[in-house]
Chain A
Amino acid sequence: MSLWQYANPVKFLALSARVQPVLWTLAAVFTSVGLLWGFFGTPDDARQGSTVKIIYLHVPSALMAINAWFMMLVASLIWLIRRHHVSALAAKAAAPVGLVMTLIALVTGAIWGQPMWGTWWAWDPRLTSFLILFLFYLGYIALWQAVEDPDTAADLTSVLCLVGSVFAVLSRYAVQFWNQGLHQGTSIPVATGNRSVADVFFYPLVMAMLGFGLLFLALVVYRTGTEIRLRRTSALQARMNRRA
């Protein structure tokens, strides 16, 4: 069995019908447990007070904002190289989800930054690269809407996605690249394992990150199915119009 069989829209829809109940259930459970545990079941931080509870929204949304773009990058590359329509539609389907995740990360960051840094916003490398990533999401969605021919739109948005990937990388590694600004480095470095978050905050945070990841997956699978159906409807209508 090959992964490429799901480039067939019919097979993709059949698979998505099977996995969606599981995905939505897991997403609801992990997100709810993570956020409720974090909000109700964790203490205040010694320095940050109760604002530490914003971490359960800010970190998972920022993580998914960047990973959504990387998922779009992979899907765009598959479209450019192998011309599978489902991959182009999956990238299109993921963009609004990534946009909302980026917006949540920006808003919660500003709300958290005001009491901790004394400002809502600073032209810090990570904040600025995140804002640019947000603008790339807007541009990507606008480009899909602006181009009438779907294959041309998929080509152009794929190229835009490649360019925007620079800012997705910068959003992730800006602190290491420039080593300046207000934003701290990553609290949970996967590579070294030397996390600076205490267990009492870490476990609900992991639950929330898994929840946001599963929610992203559930939304993208569902939205890709929607895009496939919209494409099929347009094709049928065009065929009927030609015959009429």
Chain B
Amino acid sequence: MPELGKYAGEVLSAYAVSLLLLAGLVIVTLWRGRAARRALEETEAEAGRRG
């Protein structure tokens, strides 16, 4: 861990907030993508059954 001195709180909070936001964005993106893929597969299967 580098010596951050009197600004440690500012630097660490900037990194924490940013990394949390980026991680949240990536997780939501992947989760939504998988849900959409699953929904399309189910709908295509249903459409195929109905002809």
A residues apposed to B, CB below 8 Å: 35, 39-40, 44, 49-51, 53-54, 57-58, 61, 96-97, 100, 103-104, 107-108, 111-112, 114-115, 215, 219, 222-223, 225-226, 229-230, 232-233, 236-237, 239-240, 243
Would B21 and A233 count as touching, CB distance under 8 A? Answer: no
Q: Give chain A residues whose Cβ lies under 8 Å from the Cβ of B39.
A: 229-230, 233
CB within 8 Å: A-B pair count: 96
Secondary structure of the A side of the interface? helix
Q: How many of B's residues come within 8 Å of A, CB to CB?
A: 32
Q: Give chain A residues whose Cβ lies under 8 Å from the Cβ of B33.
A: 222-223, 225-226, 229
B3-46 at interface with A (beta carbon < 8 Å): 3-8, 10-11, 13-15, 17-18, 21-22, 24-26, 29-30, 32-33, 36-37, 39-40, 43-44, 46
Q: Give chain B residues whose Cβ lies under 8 Å from the Cβ of A51.
A: 7, 10-11
Would B15 and A57 count as touching, CB distance under 8 A? Answer: yes
Would B10 and A112 count as touching, CB distance under 8 A? Answer: yes
Q: Give chain A residues whose Cβ lies under 8 Å from the Cβ of B13.
A: 111
Contact of B36 among A50, A230, A236 (CB under 8 A): A230
B residues apposed to A, CB below 8 Å: 2-8, 10-11, 13-15, 17-18, 21-22, 24-26, 29-30, 32-33, 36-37, 39-40, 43-44, 46-47, 50
